[in-house]
């Protein structure tokens, strides 16, 4: 294995190869305007066009986007918000931040996203909102979720932090629900060179409210029109960088998807569960498989200098800070947390490296037998 380097799970230098970041940064420096200026305005316009919605309100990060979206929807302390428990606690953090309580429901064991049947079982209890996470880049069964929630008058929030650009029947992640949230954390499919986030919606009133909430609740300078305001703004540098990267997003997603497709083809006969789709409703944010003996599998790959990670090892309802007796069974969720493991999948991963991952995974299963 002389001169063989470890294959990372994600690499910023490789994913950002060929991009000239100095130009957009220089433009901002020369403008001497750093917060809520031309770059932010233009990015908000370009990103809402990309998603196919009316409004985009950029914010400081994806977690703030979730929190401000819940506040915008009018979620109050002690309200209940439906969420899944296998999505890294991000939705839960926002739910707790507004003083509400998560109402966890089951996932679909194949797509690993929110199970519409489980939603049907709790929708009559009138939760204040439903958060749907398009986990790993896979669009959930959002059409069915919206059917169930709208019939009960419950708004749907899409968490698109892992699914920028995923689409089904011409509609894109973030354009289905009442409101949707994005993160531009550097490792996301559209990543800044720091933190960033956005809320998108077709609802003009909601957009206006969230715009006020992101800046102290101001309707205009120094006039606090609504309570619960914050400071959560995207800055001009990040906006300029995101504007430069946005036109590449579909191409990067196609690269991720094509790696995932090669994996799926190569692994089809092996004893593991593969991503349920490598079509355009999946943008390969993470390539996640499920295996029986996860630690042995991870160790075998590590020996072959291949990085893996677990997204996510602890279900939200079992997190030590918030653990509370769960009244409904979350068996599928817990089983997923015990068996999921992520393999390298990002734009710029070479054919050679994809082959190395395939050989190592295949060899593991043949040795096991």
Residues that bind ligand PLP (CB under 6 A): 61-63, 87-88, 90, 133, 159, 161-162, 183, 185, 195, 197
Q: Where are the alpha helices (DSSP H) in the chain?
A: 12-15, 22-31, 38-51, 62-72, 90-97, 116-122, 142-151, 204-213, 236-245, 249-267, 294-303, 331-339, 351-368
Q: What is the largest CA-CA distance in the chain?
A: 70
Beta carbon of residue 197, minimum distance to ligand PLP (angstroms, whole number): 5
Beta carbon of residue 144, minimum distance to ligand PLP (angstroms, whole number): 20
Cα–Cα–Cα angle for 10, 271, 344, rounded to 5 degrees: 5
Nearer to ligand PLP, 197 or 284 (CB): 197
Nearer to ligand PLP, 89 or 297 (CB): 89
Nearer to ligand PLP, 159 or 332 (CB): 159
Return the residue matching tokens 């992640």.
Answer: 173
Beta carbon of residue 140, minimum distance to ligand PLP (angstroms, whole number): 11
Beta carbon of residue 365, minimum distance to ligand PLP (angstroms, whole number): 29
CA separation for the pair 132, 189 (Å, rounded): 18
Beta carbon of residue 89, minimum distance to ligand PLP (angstroms, whole number): 9
CA separation for the pair 80, 94 (Å, rounded): 12
Beta carbon of residue 124, minimum distance to ligand PLP (angstroms, whole number): 27
Beta carbon of residue 266, minimum distance to ligand PLP (angstroms, whole number): 27
Reference 68, options 108, 92, 98, 100; nearest CA is 98
CA separation for the pair 14, 6 (Å, rounded): 14
CA separation for the pair 99, 122 (Å, rounded): 20
Nearer to ligand PLP, 336 or 354 (CB): 336
Question: Inter-axis angle of helices 351-368 and 294-303, to 10 degrees?
Answer: 130
Nearer to ligand PLP, 92 or 128 (CB): 92
Nearer to ligand PLP, 67 or 79 (CB): 67
| DSSP reduced 3-state for 242 | helix
Half-sphere exposure for 8 (CA within 13 Å, toward CB): 10
Query: Please, which residues bridge with residue 158 across strands?
Result: 132, 180
Nearer to ligand PLP, 243 or 285 (CB): 285
Beta carbon of residue 292, minimum distance to ligand PLP (angstroms, whole number): 26
Residue nearest to ligand PLP (CB): 62
CA separation for the pair 198, 184 (Å, rounded): 8
Nearer to ligand PLP, 183 or 255 (CB): 183
Nearer to ligand PLP, 275 or 364 (CB): 275
CA separation for the pair 199, 182 (Å, rounded): 6
Beta carbon of residue 160, minimum distance to ligand PLP (angstroms, whole number): 8
Return the residue matching tokens 């169930």.
Answer: 148
Cβ atoms within 10 Å, residue 49 = 12
């Amino acid at each position: 294995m002389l001169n063989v380097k470890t294959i990372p799970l994600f690499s910023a230098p490789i994913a950002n190869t060929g991009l000239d970041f100095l130009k957009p940064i220089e433009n901002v420096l020369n403008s001497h305007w750093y917060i809520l200026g031309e770059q932010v305005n233009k990015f908000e316009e370009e990103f809402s066009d990309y998603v196919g919605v009316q409004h985009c309100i950029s914010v400081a990060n994806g977690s703030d986007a979730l929190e401000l979206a819940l506040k915008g929807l009018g979620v109050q302390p002690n309200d209940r918000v439906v969420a899944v428990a296998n999505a890294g606690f991000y939705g839960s953090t926002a739910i707790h931040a507004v003083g509400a309580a998560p109402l966890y429901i089951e996932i679909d064991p194949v797509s690993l996203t929110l199970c519409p049947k489980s939603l049907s079982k709790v929708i009559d209890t009138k939760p204040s909102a439903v958060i749907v996470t398009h986990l790993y880049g896979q669009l959930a069964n959002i059409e069915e979720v919206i059917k169930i929630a709208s019939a009960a008058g419950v708004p749907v929030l899409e968490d698109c932090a892992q699914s920028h650009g995923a689409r089904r029947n011409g509609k894109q992640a973030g354009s289905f629900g009442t409101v949707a949230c994005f993160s531009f954390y550097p490792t996301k499919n559209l990543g800044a060179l720091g933190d960033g986030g956005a809320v998108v919606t077709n609802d003009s009133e909601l957009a206006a409210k969230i715009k006020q909430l992101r800046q102290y609740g101001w309707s205009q300078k120094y006039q606090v029109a609504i309570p619960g305001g914050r400071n959560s703004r995207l800055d001009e540098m990040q906006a300029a960088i995101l504007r430069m990267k946005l036109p590449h997003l579909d191409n990067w997603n196609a690269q991720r998807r094509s790696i995932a497709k090669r994996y799926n083809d190569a692994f089809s006969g092996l004893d593991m569960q593969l991503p349920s789709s490598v079509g355009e409703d999946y943008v390969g944010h993470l390539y996640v498989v499920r295996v029986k003996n996860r630690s042995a599998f991870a160790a075998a790959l590590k020996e072959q200098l291949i990085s893996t990670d677990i997204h996510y090892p602890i279900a939200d309802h079992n997190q030590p800070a918030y653990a509370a007796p769960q009244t409904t069974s979350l068996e599928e969720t817990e089983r997923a947390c015990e068996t999921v493991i992520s393999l390298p999948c990002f734009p710029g991963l070479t054919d050679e490296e994809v082959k190395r991952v395939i050989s190592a995974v295949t060899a593991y299963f043949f040795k096991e037998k």
